[in-house]
Amino acid sequence: MDIVKKNITIAITGGHVTPALALISEIRRMHPDWNLIWIGRRTALEGENIESEEYRLIRRQGIRFLALTAGRFTRLLSFKTISSLAKIPLGYVQALFYVARERPTIIVSFGGYIALPVVAAGAMLGIDCITHEQTHAPGLANRIIARFAKRVCVSFPETRAWFTKDKTVVTGLPIRRELLTAAKFLQTAATRSLPVLYITGGGTGAVTLNAVIFPAIRRLTKTFIVIHQTGHPSFAQASRLRDELPVVQKKHYIVAPYFDIGDLGGVLREAHIVIARAGANTVGELALLGKVAILVPLPWSAAGEQRENASWLATNGGAVVLDQHGLTDAGMERTIHEIMANYANYQDRAARLARTFPRNGSLLLLGEIEHAITSI
């Protein structure tokens, strides 16, 4: 589509940086003259000073990052809840200031509480929004955002039932091209001779999932290469654990707080089993790549979205779902070995799903943005 308008600025916001990066890659490939800004959270966890992966990754892209202090409603009442609620008005004032100052051509939302004040500010100032919903069942913030949005793009056909029919379109999940083209991560024949487990809790890691995994590492590294994305909070503990392993097993335990996309594509390519949470982007990438997985949904995810995602992959692909409540290292090990004993069946199911999973979500989403811009 020929975009004739000049000085186009896209404000991107939301809690899911992975599909946003996929979209950014396509925008830069197709429209290198567009100006991109990001409005989001600078810290990974509320009340802490650890920089978020979105801040690090977006800055690395050379995109101007506007830090937003936003609060949210939570189900459990605590001091943090009260503190978070107090930040809600501040987030709306900040968002209104940013949007009024930047006057973006359009706002693209990837959902969550961080995006809601930005989208609302855009609506107040007459700036259109396109939102992308990654999950099967949207949370409260995303249902509100959809009311403001000109177009709602969804990853799965069944998600259309949650939104207004005439403004909802299935684009699929934006997937980063690097996941499909990455080089091998493990370079030596010695390490490639063992099956590979990849353990990840997403961009911030998963402290409770790591607590289940850590006691099993000494046993698992006898028969597996274990690649562990720990997140920053658990990295020091993982490093100490690796240092305590026998010399040979140290080579079998590869730890990092976070894998960038170049390495992640290679890791996923070589992994026999992926142990992960069940965020929409994780599940979508596992489906696309045809990976066998053990999923431990985050129990307190909004509207039970991670359990929905995990159940979908278990039904349609090669995944097993474990409940975090009562999960032990022995239970995790038992599941790993049960999968390996019947691996061909799990791999076949995963491969069949991969053949049907759309690979052009980024381009379809970009097409909706182009269409919206031409109609402004």
What is the pLDDT averaged over residues 84-111? 89
**pLDDT confidence bin for 72, thresholds 50/70/90:** low
The DSSP call for residue 185 is S
Averaged over 34-59, what is the pLDDT? 83
Q: Which residues pair with 168 in a beta bridge?
A: 152
Between CA 227 and CA 358 the distance in angstroms is 27
Residues near 117 by beta carbon (within 8 Å), at least 6 away in sequence: 68, 70, 88, 91, 92, 94, 95, 96
pLDDT (0 to 100) of residue 190 = 52
Does 154 or 356 have the greater pLDDT score?
154
Residue boundaries of the structural domains of the chain: 9-175+359-374, 178-356
- Spatial distance between the Cα atoms of 233 and 142, rounded to a whole number of angstroms: 28
Give CATH superfamily name and number for 178-356: Glycogen Phosphorylase B; (3.40.50.2000)
Question: Of the given ranges (177-186, 204-213, 214-223), which has the lowest mean pLDDT?
Answer: 177-186
Least confident of 123-132, 208-217, 300-309, 333-342: 300-309
Those residues whose C-beta lies under 8 Å from the C-beta of residue 153, and which sit 6 or more positions away, are 130, 131, 132, 133, 168, 169, 170, 171, 364, 365, 368
What span, in angstroms and rounded, lies between the C-alpha atoms of 369 and 347? 36
The answer to whether 9-175+359-374 and 178-356 have equal CATH topology is yes
Using the predicted structure, report yes or no on whether residue 168 has a pLDDT greater than 80. yes
Say if residue 217 is exposed, middle or buried (CB neighbours under 10 Å; 0-12, 13-18, 19+): buried
CATH number attached to the domain at 9-175+359-374: 3.40.50.2000
The torsion angle over the Cα atoms of residues 256, 258, 260 and 261, rounded to 10 degrees, is 110
Q: Read off the pTM.
A: 0.80
- 245: Cβ contacts below 8 Å, ≥ 6 apart: 217, 218, 221, 252, 253
Report yes or no: 339 and 320 within 8 Å, Cβ to Cβ.
Answer: yes
- Condensed to tens digits (0 to 9), the pLDDT of residues 237-279 reads 999 999 999 999 999 999 999 888 888 889 998 999 999 999 8
Q: Which residue has the higher pLDDT, 3 or 233?
A: 233
- Give residue for tokens 């997985």: 293
pLDDT attached to residue 80: 56
